[in-house]
């Protein structure tokens, strides 16, 4: 989730009975809930380095303990320094003990990971022991409904001390409801996928990975599933179907069907009245699907030798490749992640942050490569 949501959640937790642990509690909670995103400093060495380390060890088990301890230490010694400068003037409630701050900080770092896990962006919760990405695909990276629930709870809770705890509890119930609705709607969207794609949905590939679990894991061993000119497939088949949340409504979803030679994308609202009735003969929902080719040519394979491409393929859940050769024989290979596709993905379209472009000369040698640039 975004850092505003993490921060509002931490302040809300500070208004529960945990806030009675003493001074410094809220500071420790806010520091801890944002601590895993300290990996932003890796961007100082470029976007590729950041993509490699983002949601890596700081979002894993070691990060939970170390960042929790660091947050508790900063809150504890910062409070002591503040008290020393104040000279003990004024009546103050007792300060929270360091063990208490440590326990709460570790808890909040763990909550950060748990709030990132249901997003379609995913997180690497087992790094550095396991660098796979994990996600439930229930939530967008920013959920306006979570923001509203948490902000409203804090706003109305300012009326009195009793109101703080009461509205904090209401905010948590609202959060649980939001997660529950999105999880249920996600299941419904997946169930509707065969009806949406209709006769265009092929049979599943014999070597397709098992995707029956609600928890999605990637990158998968899909090198054999890519269509390369050296090993063309004899038939089109289905690799995987996924449902991506949208920012607007918990009932609007983007269905991604990964085929052996490309992708088909279909937007759907699970509350659409047409889905309350059994499928009718002659339905043509499939005509609204957007198709993206994903042909791995020899030039595409050569482009994967670029370090930025390897980093990108480790991050991308649905990598899409397209190749264009100019009149002089030079080739441009572009990689996109279909999770972030909008509209028609063309070589001349403006480039999104999660796009890799590789230029090859007439001999197939890599001239340059870049992330988020043409």
User: Residue 210: CB partners within 8 Å, gap ≥ 6?
Assistant: none
Could you report the per-residue pLDDT of 109-142, keeping only the tens digit for each? 999 999 999 999 999 999 999 999 999 999 999 9
Give which of 237, 183, 191 is closest to 215, Cα–Cα.
Answer: 183
Check pLDDT > 90 for residue 372. no
pLDDT value at residue 221:
66
pLDDT value at residue 73:
96
pLDDT band of residue 229 (cuts 50, 70, 90) is very low
Higher pLDDT, 220 or 64: 64
| Beta strand extents in 68-167 (DSSP E only) | 133-135
User: Residue 57: CB partners within 8 Å, gap ≥ 6?
Assistant: 63, 127, 128
pLDDT value at residue 247:
92
Cβ 97 vs Cβ 20: under 8 Å:
no
| Cα distance between residue 200 and residue 234, in whole Å | 17
Check pLDDT > 80 for residue 157. yes
Could you report the per-residue pLDDT of 71-92, keeping only the tens digit for each? 999 999 998 888 788 765 544 6
Lowest mean pLDDT among 63-72, 75-84, 230-239: 230-239
| Beta strand extents in the chain (DSSP E only) | 133-135, 216-218, 227-228, 238-245, 252-259, 262-269, 290-293, 295-296, 319-325, 331-337, 355-360, 366-371
| Cα distance between residue 280 and residue 283, in whole Å | 6
| Cα distance between residue 284 and residue 279, in whole Å | 10
Percent of the chain whose predicted confidence (pLDDT) is above 70: 91
Give which of 131, 231, 139 is closest to 183, Cα–Cα.
Answer: 139
pLDDT value at residue 258:
94
Phi, psi for residue 133 in degrees, rounded to 5: -90, 145
pLDDT band of residue 346 (cuts 50, 70, 90) is very low
Cβ 50 vs Cβ 39: under 8 Å:
yes
Q: Which helix (H) or strand (E) holds 105?
A: helix 98-116
Average pLDDT, the chain: 89
Check pLDDT > 50 for residue 289. yes
pLDDT value at residue 232:
47
pTM attached to this predicted model: 0.90
| Cα distance between residue 247 and residue 370, in whole Å | 28
């Amino acid at each position: 989730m975004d850092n505003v949501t993490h921060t509002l959640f931490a302040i809300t937790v500070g208004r529960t009975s945990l806030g009675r642990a003493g001074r410094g509690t809220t500071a420790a909670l806010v520091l801890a809930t944002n601590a895993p995103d300290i990996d932003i400093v890796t961007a100082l060495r470029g976007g590729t380095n950041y993509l490699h380390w983002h949601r890596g060890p700081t979002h894993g088990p070691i990060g939970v303990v170390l960042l929790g301890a660091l947050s508790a230490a900063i809150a504890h010694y910062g409070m002591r320094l503040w008290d020393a400068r104040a000279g003990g003037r004024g009546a103050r409630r007792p300060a929270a003990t360091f063990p208490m701050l440590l326990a709460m900080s570790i808890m909040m770092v763990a909550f950060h990971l748990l709030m990132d896990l249901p997003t379609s962006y995913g997180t690497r919760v087992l790094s550095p022991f396991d660098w796979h990405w994990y996600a439930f695909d229930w939530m967008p990276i920013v959920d306006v409904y979570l923001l509203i629930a948490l902000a409203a709870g804090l706003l109305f809770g300012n009326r009195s001390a009793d109101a703080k705890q009461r509205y904090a509890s209401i905010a948590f119930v609202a959060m649980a409801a939001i997660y529950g609705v999105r999880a249920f709607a996600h299941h419904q969207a997946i169930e509707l996928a065969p009806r949406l794609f209709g006769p265009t949905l092929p049979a599943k590939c014999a070597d397709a990975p098992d995707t029956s679990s609600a928890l999605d894991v990637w990158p998968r061993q899909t090198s054999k599933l890519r269509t390369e000119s050296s090993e063309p497939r004899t038939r089109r088949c289905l690799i995987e179907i996924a449902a991506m949340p949208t920012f607007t409504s918990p009932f609007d979803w983007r269905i991604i069907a990964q085929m052996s030679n490309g992708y088909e994308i279909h937007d759907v609202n699970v509350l659409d009245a047409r889905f309350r009735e059994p499928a009718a003969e002659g339905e043509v929902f499939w005509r609204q699907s957007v198709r993206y080719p994903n042909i791995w040519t020899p030039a595409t394979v050569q482009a994967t030798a670029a370090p930025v491409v390897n980093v990108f393929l480790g991050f991308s859940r649905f990598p899409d490749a397209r190749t264009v050769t100019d009149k002089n024989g030079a080739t441009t290979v572009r990689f996109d992640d279909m999770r972030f596709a909008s509209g028609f993905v063309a070589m001349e379209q403006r480039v999104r942050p999660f796009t890799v472009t590789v230029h090859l000369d007439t001999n197939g040698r890599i001239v340059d490569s870049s992330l988020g640039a043409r």
